[in-house]
Amino acid sequence: MECNHADKLIMKYMDGILSMEEAQKLNFHITECESCRESFFTYQMVMDELRDEAVYEAPDGFEAAVMAKIKDIEVDYKLKEPMSMENITAMLWGMFSLLFGIGVLLCIYSQPILDYLLGNPYTMDWAQAMIPTVEVLAVYVNDIKTRLQELVSSGSQILTSLKMIAIPVLVVLASIKYYIYRKQKVEL
Ligand SMILES: [Zn+2]
């Protein structure tokens, strides 16, 4: 082993991260090489000195400061802990409401959205490919509409107002859930 490698191993030893195998190598080298032996014992002396100094000259409140630091670290750690069941439920509910709201919106306004996309040169091709999907969607939406109209005796009047109410309600619900979720996260 070369002396500069031995020097690196001495540093690792001082940091307490020397492996068993490395320790054996270092031990072997310092029995052979006087200069590395000297530097090894010099380092060790310096380290011992520093350790003693730290013990004797620990200022008042040092322990309290260390404990406070540890508490800080614990708080940091807590934030990284897995979310509570309530938070997960709130988040999932918020996401579900939002996606449902977007889905309802897309179903209702699929035709005007498609028309807009078809008119835009950048999305034209993509929109062209979406036409069959939108048509299928429209059939489903119309089917649901018809059934609902059959169910509701006063017909499309109520259905229209339901649409007008449902979307804002869903958006508000999602926002509230998301707000609660954020607030809980901050309070942790
Ligand atoms: Zn050496």
29 pLDDT tier (thresholds 50, 70, 90): very high
42 Cα: distance to centroid of ligand 1 (angstroms): 14
Instruction: Point out the domain boundary residue: 79, 112, 147.
Output: 79
Residues 13 and 89 placed together within one structural domain of the fold: no
Average pLDDT over residues 157-183: 77
Residues 72 and 91 placed together within one structural domain of the fold: no
- The answer to whether the beta carbons of residues 66 and 33 sit under 8 Å apart is no
46 Cα: distance to centroid of ligand 1 (angstroms): 19
Residues 70 and 131 placed together within one structural domain of the fold: no
Residues 96 and 160 placed together within one structural domain of the fold: yes
Please measure the distance between the N-terminal and C-terminal CA atoms of the chain and give it in whole angstroms.
53
Instruction: Point out the domain boundary residue: 33, 53, 79.
Output: 79
Residue found by looking up tokens 């350790």 in the block: 51
Determine the pLDDT at residue 28: 92
> Vertex 34, ends 32 and 37: CA angle to 5°?
90
- Please give the residue range of the domain that contains residue 26: 3-79
Residue 169 has pLDDT above 70, yes or no: yes
Average pLDDT over residues 76-104: 75
Give tens-digit pLDDT for 93-146.
888 888 888 887 777 777 788 888 888 888 888 888 888 887 887 788 788 878
53 Cα: distance to centroid of ligand 1 (angstroms): 29
Angstrom distance (rounded) from CA 188 to CA 184? 6
9 Cα: distance to centroid of ligand 1 (angstroms): 11
Query: How many structural domains is the chain composed of?
Result: 2
Residues 114 and 180 placed together within one structural domain of the fold: yes
Determine the pLDDT at residue 165: 77
Give tens-digit pLDDT for 42-77.
888 878 877 776 666 556 666 666 666 656 655 555
Residue 146 falls in which region: left (phi positive, over 0), alpha (psi -120 to 50) or beta: alpha
Alpha helices per DSSP H over 85-155: 85-108, 110-119, 124-151
Residues 96 and 56 placed together within one structural domain of the fold: no
